[in-house]
Amino acid sequence: MGGRRGGPPHTATRRVAGFGAPGMLRGVVSAASLARRTTAVGAREARQVHAMTCARGPASGVGDGASAVERLFDRCQEVLGALPNGTAATVADVSVIVPLMDRITPADLGIVPPTRAANPLALRLFGRSGPGPGAYPPLEYLKLHDCAAFTMGVFRFPENGTIPLHDHPGMTVVSKLLYGRVRVLSYDWAEAESPSTTRVPRRARLVADRIIQAPIQPLSLYPDDANVHMFHALTPAALLDVLAPPYAVGEGRDCHYFAEVPRGPRGEACGEDEAWLLETECPESFEVNRGTYLGPKVGSEAEAG
């Protein structure tokens, strides 16, 4: 996929994207990137970060004084850190993490939600496919932890902020909507990819196209369930993401972006609840800036001081 301008939605110094839900959306995703606008140097550094071995520092939250964030990190390290290298978390793994993730509030992360009224016109303005070219307000990413086994971080969206349609190949993502209202669009591939389907439209089945609002149970996506997805914030919003494993280009976990097109490779129309998706470059205007995390320090961030 040479020449792709964007990078993994969940890396250090990149651009980004999306998720699914146990018992709700069947899956879906979201998100991790940070730092300023992506550059070729930033892309190489991001990939090196995700190729590093997970640093297993001292346990951060054992005991009654542990914060909710520390308890979540410790459970993730216990469950996800024990997985073989490059192995995606299973439904059973996610079920152990979700109860602790569900308890996390913006205050636990040192986040104060903006006081902004919901805009009921947002969905009508952008319609089913989300914003058009050049219409991506910058997002902010707060990094909590980054290692070869899993990453934790928060995406903060302004109103109308969007993570474009993208995938998480070979990955599981669990996301908690901390505040706000978000439209979630997700797909499954109708057929397995083959070399002949690269850069031509592929048929996808619609998994979910709905609006979610906090508080809501954490969402999750899996390698073969709702793995292609998009988020569009109808109000200011924030998502806490856990990825296991994270993006790693050298291990086949690169991020790809997609656009809906009206016809298939031979001019075919799609069926009901289906779409033709064509791989594209990361939208030029899509960027995620590194924010300042003010909550309890855990994992790699605690070690960094």
Q: Which single residue is written with the structure tokens 């969007």?
A: 162
Any domain includes 14: no
Query: Residue 84, exposed/middle/buried by CB under 10 A (0-12, 13-18, 19+)?
Result: exposed
Cβ 214 vs Cβ 68: under 8 Å: no
> What pLDDT score does 200 carry?
86
Any domain includes 6: no
Any domain includes 78: yes
Q: How many domains does the chain have?
A: 1
> What pLDDT score does 38 carry?
32
Any domain includes 143: yes
Residue 113: domain span: 40-288
> What pLDDT score does 48 carry?
31
Any domain includes 295: no
CA angle 35, 242, 91 (to 5 degrees): 155
Q: What is the pLDDT of residues 178-229, one digit of tens each?
A: 999 999 999 999 887 655 556 789 999 999 999 999 999 999 999 988 899 9
Any domain includes 238: yes
> What pLDDT score does 9 carry?
58
Low-confidence ranges of the chain (pLDDT < 50): 1-7, 10-64, 118, 122-129, 133
Any domain includes 13: no
> What pLDDT score does 298 carry?
94
The Cα 180–Cα 159 span in angstroms is 9
Any domain includes 281: yes
Give the CATH number, domain containing residue 52: 2.60.120.10
The Cα 74–Cα 106 span in angstroms is 19
Give bridge partners of residue 277 from the DSSP assignment.
Answer: 202, 260
> What pLDDT score does 134 carry?
53
The Cα 197–Cα 281 span in angstroms is 16
